[in-house]
Chains A and B, each alone.
Chain A
Amino acid sequence: MTDTLAQFAVEIASGAIRVVDLTHTLDPDFPVIILPPEFGQCARFRMEEISAYDHRGPGWKWHNIHLSEHTGTHFDAPSHWISGREVPNGDVDEISVENFVGPVVVIDCSAGAAKDDDFELTPEIILAWEGQHGRVPTDAWVLMRTDWSKRSGAEYLNMQSDGPHSPGPTPEAIRLLVEDRDIRGFGTETVGTDAGQGAHHTPPYPAHYILHGAGKFGLQCLSGLDQLPPTGAVLIATPLKIKGGTGSPLRVLALVPGGET
C-alpha cells in the first residue's frame, strides 16, 4: 500500500496523473441561484479588506469574506433539501471523509446543450452512454458535461421572464442513477444540479429531491468537465467542515490519467 501511494506521488510529479481543477474562481460577479424575491436569497461572494499594509494593519494584508454555503462551485449535502432532512449524517460536518475522494464518470451532453438551453439528461442518454462506456459504477460521481461553464454573465443563468433556462436531468434519469446505479453523487456545470426549469417537474427540482432524499450528494458550478475522460478519473471534493452545514464552497479536483486521454 505504501508503494501505491509512493507510485501515485511519482505519477503526479511526472504528469502521468494529471490534476485538473474543476472550480470557478470565487468572484463577486459570479452568478448565484435566483429565487423569487420574497424568498431568502443566496449571498453573493463578497470580500472586504481588513487591512492592506496600511494604517489598519501596517505589515499585512487580509480580507473578510462573506458568502453562502451555496455560492460559487459548491457541494450540496443531503440536509440541503427537505427530502434529505432525516438522512443520517446529512450535514457536511457529519459526512464521512471517504465520500470526498472517489471515482467519477462524465456523461457528455455538450452537443445537445449547445442546441437546446433546456436540454435534458434522460435515462435513454444514460443507457446509450453505458452502451459505450459500460455500466455506471456503484458509488461513483456522475457529472453531466454541458460546457455551460464556458458561458458567463447573463448567458450563464440565462434568466428569462419565465425563469432560468439551463440543462439538467429529468426525474427519471436521476431515479435511474440513484435507485438502480446507487451513485455517490451528481454534478453539473450549471448553477444547480437541476435544470433551470426544474421547478416544473414532478417532483419539482428532481435532482435535489431524489439525490438528497437518498443521502446522495450534489456538485454544481463545476468547470472544465471537457478535460475529463468518460471514465477512469478520480474526483476530490472536500467541503468545509461547517457544523450543521448543508453545503459548502470548495475546490474540486480531478485526477486524470495522463497522456492522450
Chain B
Amino acid sequence: MTTPLTPPPRKDPLKRTVSPTQPPVIRSRAALGLTAMAAEGRFALQTCAECGAVQYPPRDACSACLSTDLPWWDIAPTGQLLAETTVQTSVKQYFRERTPWRVGSVQLDAGPVVICHLHGDVAANARVRLRLLLDRAGQGVILALPQERTDHMADDPELRLMSSDPHLRRVLITDARHPFAPDLAAALQTAGATLIFAGEPENWLPNPNRSALEAAGAEILPLDVTDTKSVERMAGEIGGKTDILINTARFMRPGGVLARGGTGFARDEMEVNYLGLMRLAQAFGPAMCGRTADGVNSAVAWVNILSVHARTNTPGFGCFNASQAAAFSLSQSLRAEFRGAGLRVMNVFTGPLEEDWYQPLPPPKVTGPALARSVVSGLRDGLEDVWCGDVAKDFEERFCKNPKVLEIELGQEMGE
C-alpha cells in the first residue's frame, strides 16, 4: 500500500536546496523511440514488420529474422513479474539519493522481457500493467504497476518522479484573462494543487474571469508577459514557489497575410505568444530549474497551450499560427535547455476553442473543461505532447501520415 504524500512543511531557510541530478541520459538512436512514445503516453515497442516479433531492448535488426524493418507498434501493456530487486545503493548519484529503488524483471505478454521500474504496490510474481513514462532525464522508461488501481497509487515515489502531478504543487496560470483560465484553475484545485496563482495583465481593464478564478481558489497577481519588468517582478515574488507554470498568455486575431494588410496584430501576436514565452522562461526558468529536486513540491513542469496549427499553418488564422509556430519552436529549445534540470516542457495542442475568436468556425471545438482535463491528465501522466480534442487528434494523425498532404488540405479548406 502506497503511503499517501502529505503537504510538505514550510521550507527551512537555513537548508540548502538539493541540486537536481539526473538518471542516465544517454541512449542509442533506436532507444530514443521509447522516449518518443513515452512523450505521448503510448506503450509501443519495435515490432518486426516481416515476422511480427516484438523487440526489446530497441535495436536495429530483428532478433528473430534479421529484418531491419522495425516499426513502432502499440502493444498490450501487460505482463508477468518474474523477479524483483530493491536497489539499496547505486553508483549513480540520482538513484543513490532516492534509494531504496524497486526494479523488476517482467515478461511482456507480447514476448520480450523488460527490466523495469516497479511500483511499490506490485505484489511478488503478480500480473502487471506497464507504462512507458519519461524519467527526469526526459527519457522513456518502463514502469510496472499493479493491474488494479490501489489507494494513493500516484504517490508512489517512483511514479511521482516520472509524473508532473499537480497534487500538492503550486501552479502559475500566466494569463488570468484566457477564457479557459477559470476552468484550468478549477481542475487544478480538484487535482490537489496547493496554491494557484493567476497572472493578470492590464488590471486597469475589467477581467470577467475574476470571480470564477477566485472561486477556484486562485490568487490573482499582476503579470503582463509583454512587459519584461512585470514578468521579472512576479518571478521575483513567486518564482521560487512556482512548481508548474501554465502559459495561457495568448494574443490572437484572425486572418492570413493578405487579409491582415499590416503587421500590427502580428507584432502583438509575436510579442505575447513568442516573446512573452521567452520572457517568462528567462524570468521563471532558472528558479524552476534550480528547484526540481526540492521534495514533494519540487518544480516539475512547464506547460504551453498551443494551436495545432503551430505544426502546419492554415490561412484562416495564418498570422496567429505563425506566432504559434514560433512559440512551438521555442518550446523545443526550452525543452532541451530545461532537460538537464529535469524540468519537463509539456505542449498541449488544441484545435479551435469554444470562445470568441473561433466563434465563426464550425464544431467540434475544445471547451474549457476539456482543455483543463487534458492539462491535468497530461501532467499526471508526465507527457510532453498532448493532443487535446478531436480536431487536434485528427490533425496529429494526418500530420504523422503525411505532413505535406496535410499542408495542402489545410490550404484548400480556406477556399471553402
Complex: A in contact with B (CB within 8 Å)? yes
Of the candidates B205, B230, B268, the one whose C-beta lies within 8 Å of that of A28 is B230
Q: How far is the CB of A3 from chain B (nearest CB, A)?
A: 49
**Interface 9-residue window, one of A152-160, A211-219, A239-247, A248-256:** A152-160
Q: Are B264 and A31 in contact (CB under 8 A)?
A: no
Docked-complex contact A159 and B224, CB < 8 angstroms? no
Query: A44 contacts the other chain (Cβ, under 8 Å)?
Result: yes
CB <8 Å contact, A40 and B205: no
Contact of A49 among B205, B228, B253 (CB under 8 A): B228
Query: Which residues of A sit under 8 angstroms from B227, Cβ to Cβ?
Result: 28-29, 44, 46
Query: Which of A47, A49, A154 makes the CB contact (< 8 A) with B204?
Result: A154
Q: A153: which of B204, B226, B268, B271 is its contact (CB, 8 Å)?
A: B204
Q: Is A41 an interface residue (CB 8 A)?
A: yes
* A260 CB within 8 Å of chain B: no
Closest to A30 in B: B204
Out of B202, B203, B205, B226, name the residue touching A46 (CB < 8 Å).
Answer: B226
CB atoms of B204 and A156 under 8 A apart: yes
Q: Check if B262 sits within 8 Å of A28, measured CB to CB.
A: no
Determine whether A34 belongs to the interface, using a CB cutoff of 8 Å to chain B. Answer: yes
Q: Is A180 an interface residue (CB 8 A)?
A: no
Q: What's the tally of chain A residues with a CB closer than 8 Å to chain B?
A: 20
A247 to chain B, nearest CB (A): 16
Given known pairs A38-B253, A40-B264, A41-B268, the reply for A154 and B206 (CB within 8 Å) is yes
The reply to whether B268 and A31 form a contact with Cβ atoms under 8 Å apart is no
Beta-carbon contact of B204 and A29 below 8 Å: yes
B98 within 8 A of A: no
Residue of B nearest to A161 (CB): B206
How many Å lie between the Cα of A123 and that of B222 in the bound state?
42
**B59 CB–A CB distance under 8 Å:** no
User: Is A48 on the interface with B (CB-CB < 8 A)?
Assistant: yes
What's the dominant secondary structure at chain B's contact region?
Answer: loop
User: Which of B205, B230, B271 sits near A157, CB closer than 8 Å?
Assistant: B205
Q: Using Cβ atoms and an 8 Å threshold, which residues of chain B touch A29?
A: 202-204, 222, 224, 227, 230
Q: Is the CB of A157 within 8 A of B204?
A: yes
Look across to chain A and name the residue whose beta carbon is closest to the beta carbon of B254.
A38
Within 8 A of B (CB), among A156-205: 156-157, 159-160
A159 and B202 CA atoms in complex are apart in Å by: 12
* Chain A interface, >50% SS class: loop
Bound together, the chains give a CA A37 to CA B228 distance in angstroms of 23
Residues in A neighbouring B264, C-beta threshold 8 A: 40-41
Evaluate contact between B228 and A48: CB separation under 8 angstroms.
Answer: yes
- Determine whether B404 belongs to the interface, using a CB cutoff of 8 Å to chain A: no
Contact partners of B203 in chain A: CB under 8 A:
29, 153-154
B 9-39 contacts with A by CB, 8 A: none
Q: Is B56 an interface residue (CB 8 A)?
A: no
A159 touches B228 (CB 8 A): no
Q: Does B43 touch A at the CB level, under 8 Å? A: no
Please give, as numbers and ranges, the residues of chain A lying within 8 Å of B73 by CB-CB distance: none
**Inter-subunit contact B224/A28 (CB<8 Å):** yes
Please tell me if the beta carbons of B265 and A159 are within 8 angstroms of each other in the complex: no
Min C-beta distance of B316 to chain A, whole Å: 15
**Pairwise interchain contact A40-B226, C-beta atoms closer than 8 A:** no
Question: Would you call A31 and B228 a contact (CB within 8 A)?
Answer: no
Q: How far is the CB of A16 from chain B (nearest CB, A)?
A: 39
Q: Is B96 an interface residue (CB 8 A)?
A: no
Docked complex Cα distance between A202 and B229 (Å): 42
| Proximity string of chain A (26-55) to chain B, C-beta cutoff 8 Å, 1 when within and 0 when not | 001101001001101100101111000000
Closest Cβ of chain A: how far from B407's Cβ, in Å?
A: 28
Q: In B256-274, which residues have CB < 8 Å from any A CB?
A: 262, 264-265, 268, 271
- For A94-132 the 0/1 string (1 means CB < 8 A from B) is 000000000000000000000000000000000000000
- Over the window 145-157 of chain A, the binary record of Cβ atoms lying under 8 Å from chain B Cβ atoms (1 yes, 0 no) is 0000000111011
| Closest residue on chain B to residue A45 by CB atoms | B227
Are the CB atoms of B204 and A40 closer together than 8 Å?
A: no
Q: Tell me the B residues contacting A by CB distance below 8 Å.
A: 202-206, 222, 224, 226-230, 253, 262, 264-265, 268, 271
16 contacts between A and B (CB under 8 A): A29-B203, A29-B227, A31-B202, A31-B205, A34-B205, A37-B253, A40-B265, A41-B268, A46-B226, A46-B228, A48-B228, A153-B203, A154-B203, A156-B204, A157-B204, A159-B204
Contacts A29-B230, A31-B204, A40-B264 known; list 12 others, CB within 8 Å: A28-B229, A28-B230, A29-B202, A38-B253, A40-B265, A47-B229, A48-B228, A49-B228, A154-B206, A157-B205, A159-B205, A159-B206
Interface residues of A (CB under 8 A from B): 28-29, 31, 34, 37-38, 40-41, 44, 46-49, 152-154, 156-157, 159-160
